[in-house]
Structure 1
Amino acid sequence: MRFNIKVIADLLGIILLINGGFMALCIPVSVYYKESDWLAILIASLITIGSGFLLRLVKRKNQNKELKKKDGYIIVTAGWVVLSLFGALPYVISGAIPSFGNAFFETMSGYTTTGASILTDIEIVPKGILFWRSLTQWIGGMGMIVLALAILPFLGIGGMQLFAAEAPGITPDKLQPRIQETAKRLWFLYVGLTLAEAVALYVAGMGAFDAINHSLTTMATGGFSTTNDSMQLDSPVIQYIVIFFMFLAGTSFTLTYFALKRNFKKVFKNEEFIVYTSFIVVITIVVTVALLFVQDQPLETSFREALFQVVSLVTTTGFVSADYTAWAPFLSVLFFILLFVGGSAGSTAGGVKVIRHVVLFKNSFLELKRQLHPSAVMPVRISGKAMDQGIVYNVLAFIMIYILVFLVGVVLLSAMNVEFDTAFGAVATSLGNVGPGIGEVGPVDNFSAMPMAGKWLLSTLMLLGRLELFTVLMLLSPHFWRKR
């Protein structure tokens, strides 16, 4: 057998069991706020858990537990699709989003931490459903596969294939030699930072329910909010708190771990972190200066609005503190470019990732030197270390395919009679897992008017972006399915 079907089914079953358990956590919220959606959530949870048990029945005592790389790609891709299919049930059963297509879009947007929404009035949605909506982003932030590895090491199944498929491309060094220990430490850190932000927001004056939900979606760099105005608040303190945690969420969790261990040398010698921080600072200054010319407001307000939107888009969180498309055409173009940046590798952020841009630019400049000195050996160096040429080729291939997928997505969406600028914005923000775009899907709009076929297309792009292209596209390759 080319694929270990029993292990694949077993792990998908475990993922559904965990997901159903998370759904059940929303029932007390509904009961507390005396809303009737608790029954819909209970039914959805039981269906999800029951399906998980059925998938686990495929397992046998003497099954082969060996997990190959191909199995890992199938589990991760199928896992995300299955999660979204079952994760849509609370919306549909409760009637919050009656259309399954719309519910699937909202759920895929949640798990992939994109933050694009079809809800036109978020504040009328029952609290239990809103909490589930936030939880989907929090679950997807670190990855359900990594969660399964963190709390279920007793499976006896090698996890590196799953970890590699879940976070492909350039990844930071593991914190511990065992993959389960790495996953546990990442999740403990993730939970700790989420709790810290929730407490900080509550102390700053945000209500308990809103504080918890916004902390869940901030650390996931998801951007779902419990209010129609997102983060357009009158509280500078709350906005600065969110900015700080968005920045942390877009930073490699490995570096945050080292910082907490007071190993600051590793942090400040990391080239990606230096570029990531410097880029945010420079763009924030540019936007602040531009705002001082186009808006009649104090320096602090201009700085805060600029910093908030720059950090939100670079980290692909997608929270909105103002309608940046109404500021100036120059700034609209600049913010559109930010949709392609992405946060750090090893963070919950989506997008191309800063490290890939660094490798691309360094290799491009070195190529000019190689033209003058063709015999010279000039490796790309990151943080002072020579990078394997295979990784450089991987980065170049990723960026080329990313651009190709973006262009194909724009053509397909335009063929559905979507306006040109809206198609550009919708595809860019979906593929980059950002949330708000430009055109009719800008920061104060949503995706409700998008044709249903367009929503399915954008849902696919969200999955491609979340799993960084190769994991999903690998399954479309005839070579993947050949016997070897």
Structure 2
Amino acid sequence: MFKIFLFLLAAGTLAYCMAGMPLFDSINHAMASLSTGGFSVKAGSIGEYDSWAIELVTVVLMLFGTTNFAVLLLLTKGKFKQVWKVSEVKFMSGLIVASVVVLTVLLRFQMDFSWIESFRKALLDGISAISTTGFSSMSYAEWTSAPICVLLVLMIIGGGMGSTAGGIKIMRVDLFLKAIKAHIRREVEDVPGLSSIEFTRAQGKVRATDALIRQIFCFIGVYILILMAGTFLICVFSNCGVIEALFDFASSLGTVGLSFGMTGPQTIEPVLLVEMIGMVLGRLEIFVVFVALYSVRKQFIKR
């Protein structure tokens, strides 16, 4: 994987340079895109360059960064048909297309951008949100509530399993929806329920076990509870609106980096502390932290 990363980094840097970005900026943005880090050398992020070519390069690199490493290996071997069979790839492709279309329409009619400008912003910011990279085209303080809600949902869903992206992850959401569908079918049609769920990974088609489905439901439930708790604490400490608090904490928990405008140098310490805890939990997939704390507690009791 390290060789693949180095190749993509070199290719991304070259593509940025060809698109008109200075070499130093190109190296930094290529690394930040592939690692879904989102750090930019410009205060206005990618939007400050105001370049179609640069935005397109960023979109491609973010997609590589949020793709499962096993899928990337298939791509390097030229197994494109096998890649398209992967459930995660299909779900993410459909979600990206749908979200970009919805965002484009919302920005066109609610923000009064042109169709082209709406599509540019929808493509960059939508993929930035779902890949949990954190690049942006402009300040979201100027956006209306509807497109903000779309970005919020994308940040919560997150990117691919086995990638550097955060969020709940595409595979979990896909299996979560399939489990709900299977449960409804079992109740209505009296057919096999969860045991009938199949999905395709890079390694091939597998059947979801009951243990896996329970694990996914537990993870999503805990994720939502933490999201609600963090949003509540930010509202208490900063006395801001629910949407602002929810957006910024969802960004922290999903390790995204996008902000509604309330997180910055002016943010008070208690809010920053809540967001830092959210970032740690999101980066370590939550249960790792719980297991570590439980282990420490057991060792402390033994002594």
What is the TM-score of this pair, normalised by structure 2?
0.90
Cα shift readout 1:285-330 (whole Å, capped 9, x = no counterpart): 1111222323555433221111111000000011011234523322
1-side partners of 2:100 and 2:12: how far apart? Answer: 23
Task: Quickly say closer, same or farther: Cα 1:294–1:417, change in 2 above 3 A.
Answer: closer
**Does 2:30 align with 1:215?**
yes
Contact 1:474 1:480 in 2 (8 A): no
Amino acid at match of 1:345: M
Of all paired residues, the percent bearing the same amino acid is 30
Map 1:77-88 → 2, pairs under 5 A: none
Task: Quickly say closer, same or farther: Cα 1:323–1:447, change in 2 above 3 A.
Answer: closer
1-side partners of 2:102 and 2:236: how far apart? Answer: 36
Task: Quickly say closer, same or farther: Cα 1:267–1:477, change in 2 above 3 A.
Answer: same
Cα shift readout 1:360-393 (whole Å, capped 9, x = no counterpart): 1111111112224667354221125311211111
Contact 1:426 1:437 in 2 (8 A): yes
Map 1:283-298 → 2, pairs under 5 A: 283-298=99-114
2-side partners of 1:375 and 1:346: how far apart? Answer: 33
Q: 2:15 maps to what in 1?
A: 200
2-side partners of 1:426 and 1:288: how far apart? Answer: 22
2-side partners of 1:423 and 1:290: how far apart? Answer: 22
Task: Quickly say closer, same or farther: Cα 1:291–1:453, change in 2 above 3 A.
Answer: closer
TM-aligned CA deviation for residue 457 of structure 1: 2.4
Amino acid at match of 1:452: E
Amino acid at match of 2:154: L
Contact 1:280 1:310 in 2 (8 A): yes
Q: 1:70 maps to what in 2?
A: none
Q: Which has the larger radius of gyration?
A: 1
Amino acid at match of 1:381: E
2-side partners of 1:371 and 1:358: how far apart? Answer: 20
DSSP 3-state at the match of 1:226: coil
RMSD: 2.0
5+ residue gaps, structure 2, are none
Cα shift readout 1:38-79 (whole Å, capped 9, x = no counterpart): xxxxxxxxxxxxxxxxxxxxxxxxxxxxxxxxxxxxxxxxxx
**Does 2:178 align with 1:362?**
yes
**Does 2:290 align with 1:469?**
no
Q: 1:424 maps to what in 2?
A: 246
Match of 1:401 among 222, 225, 240: 222
Larger displacement relative to structure 2 (267-276 or 404-413): 404-413
Q: What count of residue pairs does the alignment treat as equivalent?
A: 293
5+ residue gaps, structure 1, are 1-185
Q: 1:59 maps to what in 2?
A: none
Amino acid at match of 1:344: G
2-side partners of 1:404 and 1:433: how far apart? Answer: 17
Task: Quickly say closer, same or farther: Cα 1:378–1:339, change in 2 above 3 A.
Answer: closer
What is the TM-score of this pair, normalised by structure 1?
0.57
Cα shift readout 1:217-257 (whole Å, capped 9, x = no counterpart): 11111111101111112211111111111111111122122
Q: 1:457 maps to what in 2?
A: 274
Q: 2:63 maps to what in 1?
A: 247
Contact 2:230 2:249 in 1 (8 A): yes
TM-aligned CA deviation for residue 481 of structure 1: 2.5
Match of 1:300 among 83, 107, 116: 116
DSSP 3-state at the match of 1:231: helix
